A and B are shown apart, each in its own frame.
Chain A
Amino acid sequence: MGRKLLLEKAHVEGIRGYEVYRREGGYRSVEKALKSMTPDQVTDEVKKSGLRGRGGAGFPTGMKWSFIAKPEGVPRHLVCNADESEPGTFKDRYLMEFIPHLLIEGLIVSSFALGSNVTYIYIRGEYAWITDILEQAIAEAKQNGWLGKNILGTGFDLEIYVHRGAGAYICGEETALLESLEGKRGNPRIKPPFPAVKGVWDRPTVVNNVETLAAVVPIINFGSEEYAKIGVGKSTGTKLISACGNINKPGVYEIDMTISVEEFIYSDEYCGGIPNGKKLKACIPGGSSVPILPANLLLKTAKGDTRIMNYESLADGGFPKGSMMGSGGFIVFDEDQCVVRHTLTLARFYRHESCGQCSPCREGTGWMEKILKNIECGKGKISDIDLLWDIQRKIEGNTICPLGDAAAWPVAAAIRHFRDEFEWHVTHAEEAQKRNYGLAHYADPLVVA
């Protein structure tokens, strides 16, 4: 069993309340950081720990923090991105719901490192009940002197505000999030300037994911060296994976990034295998926007190595033969699932969530959805598949924010790996509609039927 850093105490009775959390060793990292370290030392620790952003892009957190501009007399801000809206990803919800004080603790230490006296949690609108949980936790922390003026007598002031979004996926993109936080329409900004220079209200800002900020707590508690020992290579520490789809035990798991994908899917400790003795067909390892991988490429890399659940191994082979760690939304498909229908579902999502600011994404996502719908409904043509490929190619990389890429990648990967399934939908229109699921010959080579 891998070591747990974030969710170790998540199921202690009453951990949601301050008393129990404190008794279980909560807020120790705040004491340590504020009393015995300078902000730069905290940043250094995070840098040395090798912590990478858990929101999807995997950018080294310490480096991101060191980029923040520090002009005289201009306040800086830390913004916590809790707008978790990627289909298949629900790890932050779990963390905030069960152990909210861990996030507050991480926020206090991180704000101290960045010199932010006003910190925001931008939470997705649908997480209404979690907003209440967080506000309760903030109130408790404030009562006990962890927030407010002159924390622990060190002269450091901090206020944390929770801001609810209004139900837009695009507001999870950091600059759209900042626009929305300022009360404007959530359109992504054009970069540069980056938020580290001009963020919320034109002040230097760092935007970090919930899990990233929570991971700062064990880094300070145990030290960066201890933290960096967990995991392999540049994938240090633990990662929350939200597993769903055709598995026996869906849920949020904390893994230490050394276990193999095969173990993650089949071991009883984690997903517990695929129900009803079905075979594994494909998997999206990191949230809906990362490329889908067929079973043969999922368990082993193109070179024949075992694929490990970490940043490097999942990306091995590049986009043609690999995928991404992403945000950790692990979606498993068994042999009965139809890739065409699934791709249509995602295309519909991205069409609905495109902000409409830049042309390729606004028009391209709608176009892709319409074509996929035709194919799914048995009205497709073989040439539509090439057209889809061409459209996604013209969206990818040509948009303001990564939503264009996120919409293009799933379509590209589905066509790349499951082209014959698309063709089968076109040539066997009637049968495809009756069965409403796809071909099964990608099934997992490991399980003998």
Chain B
Amino acid sequence: MPDDKKLFKVTIDNITIEVEPGTSILNAARKIGGDVAPPAMCYYSKLKGSGGKCRTCLVEVSQGSTADPRPMPKLVASCRTNVMDGMVVKNITSEKVIDARNGVVEFLLINHPLDCPICDQAGECDLQDLSYEHGTEGTRFEFVRRTFEKHDLGPYIQLHMTRCILCYRCVFAADQLTDKRQHGILDRGDHSEIATYIKQSLDHDFIGNVIDVCPVGALTDKTFRFKNRVWFLKPQDAHRDCPRCAGKVRLWTRGEEVFRVTARRDQWGEVEDWICNECRFEKKKASDWVIEGPTLISRHSVISAGHYVGMKMPREPLPEVMGGRKPKLLMDIHSVSEVNDPNIDLSKIEGPAHSTDFVNKG
């Protein structure tokens, strides 16, 4: 009998599932998957104590349990509320939840710089995805946004506090992965900031993981900043024999070049195995790694989730202009162009033409 664990039945958005006692509503919803899973900006299943802060995962509990069927009076944070037997939860079927979630997204965005076009996180940013789903087109905030100076946290990491949404994930990560956390939250309220004590640098073998847990572009990889856009890069799973960490990483390549190395993430955007700084920052050659093969990107990002697939595209005028010729380069449509070198016959270049093909060849 003692081994015979009783499972709790919980109904989320009219889908019933059985989970083990002690599971949070969020994790139960993730088992169902799809749109039923509430978004989470601060909760991170691998970091103890995280969650409850961002309030994007609020859900409505319309029946507490079979034993006590009263509804909960307020919306609850699904990441930090455990399921009860017979609980009925409304997530996307509740107007109250959607309204509150839209409100939270608006709050998160009022002081966020919205500098996505120059932000390295764009394309894999949780906040970008969230505002795509729940944000409004304009803002009702008519004041100067909060800004901070950029701040180098040692040789590898840059802190751009202006973009931070104070999810505390990096604090938990540094606290739980390293033995000497040197950064935390200073000050309070809307003027609080992530900082180190008088600009100390973050110095630990595993500190690079704070970049991966950051849901926005507040903590970025200095070895990758402004090198490329993530959606141009091809993710590939790779591994190496690392004495410090599991060595299982994701390489982000374009052509032969490895632009950055990150930890592997699961479908909820959470790191599977923490990786060390050496793997992340020092091993930037394909020859350092055993490549396992291309990675299928999860639904995680706006861009990779194919939000733009199936859109009606405007009529493409290029084929008409070209009159049957196949362009190798957009420049080709000009018969004579200042940037184009008339001495180079594009049709004789192998593969797609590259700007380097035009240098010093005329």
Contact = CB atoms under 8 A, between A and B. Distances in A.
B190 A397 contact: no
A365 B192 CA distance: 13
Q: How large is the interface on B (under 10, 10 to 19, 20 to 34, 35 or more residues)?
A: 20 to 34
Contacts of A326: none
Interface in B183-217: 184-185, 187-192
Interface stretch (A274-282, A352-360, A419-427): A352-360
A365 B190 CA distance: 8
Interface residues of A, number: 28
Nearest to A362: B190
A363 interface: yes
A356 B168 CA distance: 11
A403 to B, nearest CB: 10
Contacts of B166: 356-357, 359, 362
Interface string A102-145: 00000000000000000000000000000000000000000000
Interface stretch (B74-82, B252-260, B290-298, B309-317): B74-82
A168 B189 contact: no
A37 interface: no
Contacts of A394: 99-100, 103-104, 106-107
A393 B103 CA distance: 9
B185 A185 contact: yes
Query: DSSP majority for the A interface?
Result: helix
Contacts of A370: 143
A399 interface: yes
A370 B145 CA distance: 11
A16 interface: no
Interface string B70-103: 0000110100100000000000000000011001
A150 B132 CA distance: 65
Interface in A337-381: 351-360, 362-367, 370
Interface string B296-340: 000000000000000000000000000000000000000000000
B261 interface: no
Nearest to A379: B142
Contacts of B189: 351-356, 362, 365-366
Contact of B103 (A354, A356, A360): A360
Contacts of A352: 189
Contacts of A354: 188-190
Contact of B192 (A356, A360, A393, A399): A356
A352 to B, nearest CB: 6
Contacts of B143: 367, 370
B99 to A, nearest CB: 8
Interface of A: 168, 170, 185, 190, 351-360, 362-367, 370, 387, 393-394, 397-400
Given A190-B52, A190-B80, 6 more contacts: A185-B184, A355-B189, A359-B108, A360-B107, A367-B107, A394-B107
What 7 pairs across the A-B complex have the smallest Cβ distances? A394-B103, A356-B192, A363-B107, A366-B190, A190-B52, A354-B189, A397-B74
20 contacts: A190-B80, A351-B189, A354-B190, A355-B188, A356-B187, A356-B190, A356-B192, A357-B53, A357-B166, A358-B55, A359-B104, A359-B166, A363-B111, A367-B143, A387-B140, A393-B103, A394-B100, A398-B58, A398-B103, A398-B104
